[in-house]
Chains A and B, each alone.
Chain A
């Protein structure tokens, strides 16, 4: 009489693989069918977690001097994506505090203040594919269509000797037409 445990183990593993495979196929099919599916290969989109459609609309590489000009002329709303303690320690004067790690709570205050046509400059800690990109992505999802990411983030701004503000004073909203 054959040992049923031995044969069942092989079947067990094959069936587990089949269940996993069915999940894989479902995931790939749904991702291909949904409008904002994630690219499976990072080529045009160089950061994970960003659908191609959103990547195309993000204005990348807002370099320091043009961003500083926008800031001086109040032609863009600056958004700080770093954590609260970093914002309190130092931030770009007038920047809104919208920390990625506390986004859901902070956005309840910030979202109603933004107009969809407002140009936004989002900055973070300077990491590529970091906090600024994630907050920019969320802002795009609520319909903001002029979202820029500051190259180098706050460290680049500070190192360039541009103005910074310390302490609790919050940012102001509003773009001078």
Chain B
């Protein structure tokens, strides 16, 4: 058993991180998928997208969260799923910053529920997303390095190895 091999502490840490991030994204998608019309209303409230893009975004975005959650749970293409998760988290943070810039600091983020209850302070949402971003970037770096190490160690022609 090597330091970075299967069943090592690093492997368990990656697994835990993967599952936690997957759970966050899958949980976030559930209510948006159940109520796409309400999610579209929340997207409209951000005033970042033109009206004609709101419905397509509201229809597609929760399922991208599901897709990356499933990939993270399965453990295939982990660096790519982590990269996508990081990109989406950056997008969420940018949306909140833009909402702050237009003076909508007390907004319903639509992060985990489409209910209008529990409006959150934008700064609190940013801090929460910063933790999520740190976790996704950490997973990206670790799993990418592991994949590259595997590729280097593998004989020529078998370099297309999966992540940890």
CB distance from B85 to the nearest CB of A (A): 9
Interface residues of A in 109-127 (CB under 8 A from B): none
Q: Do residues B52 and A49 form an inter-chain contact, with CB atoms below 8 A?
A: no
Partner of B54, one of A20, A37, A49, A51: A49
CB distance from A37 to the nearest CB of B (A): 8
Q: Do residues A40 and B59 form an inter-chain contact, with CB atoms below 8 A?
A: yes
- Using Cβ atoms and an 8 Å threshold, which residues of chain A touch B51? 42, 47-48, 129
- Using Cβ atoms and an 8 Å threshold, which residues of chain B touch A28? 59-60
Q: Do residues A49 and B55 form an inter-chain contact, with CB atoms below 8 A?
A: yes
Which stretch in B10-18, B31-39, B123-131 binds the other chain? B31-39
Known: A12-B80, A38-B58, A51-B37. A23 touches B52 (CB 8 A): no
- Using Cβ atoms and an 8 Å threshold, which residues of chain A touch B39? 49
Q: Digit string of B96-137 for contact with A (CB within 8 Å is 1, else 0)?
A: 000000000000100000011101000000000000000000
Give Cα A11–Cα B150 distance, bound, in whole angstroms: 14
Q: Digit string of A1-35 for contact with B (CB within 8 Å is 1, else 0)?
A: 00011011001111110111011101110110000
Q: Do residues A48 and B116 form an inter-chain contact, with CB atoms below 8 A?
A: no
Range class of the A interface residue count: 35 or more
Give Cα A36–Cα B151 distance, bound, in whole angstroms: 47
Q: Is the interface of B mostly helix, strand, loop or mixed?
A: helix
Give Cα A26–Cα B51 distance, bound, in whole angstroms: 22
Known: A15-B80, A19-B71, A19-B80. A24 touches B144 (CB 8 A): no
- Using Cβ atoms and an 8 Å threshold, which residues of chain B touch A51? 37
Q: Do residues A40 and B56 form an inter-chain contact, with CB atoms below 8 A?
A: yes
- Using Cβ atoms and an 8 Å threshold, which residues of chain B touch A101? 108, 116, 119
Known: A23-B66, A27-B60. A4 touches B148 (CB 8 A): yes
Q: Digit string of B120-164 for contact with A (CB within 8 Å is 1, else 0)?
A: 000000000000000000000000100110011000000110000
Give Cα A38–Cα B77 distance, bound, in whole angstroms: 31
Give Cα A5–Cα B144 distance, bound, in whole angstroms: 9
Q: Is A39 in the interface zone, CB < 8 Å from B?
A: yes
Chain B residues with CB under 8 Å of chain A are 33, 36-41, 43-44, 51-52, 54-56, 58-68, 71, 77, 79-81, 83-84, 87, 108, 115-117, 119, 144, 147-148, 151-152, 159-160
Other A-B contacts than A8-B147, A16-B80, A19-B68, 9 sampled, CB-CB below 8 A, are A8-B151, A19-B71, A20-B64, A23-B68, A30-B63, A49-B54, A54-B37, A103-B116, A105-B117
Chain A residues with CB under 8 Å of chain B are 4-5, 7-8, 11-16, 18-20, 22-24, 26-28, 30-31, 36-42, 47-51, 54, 100-105, 129, 134, 137
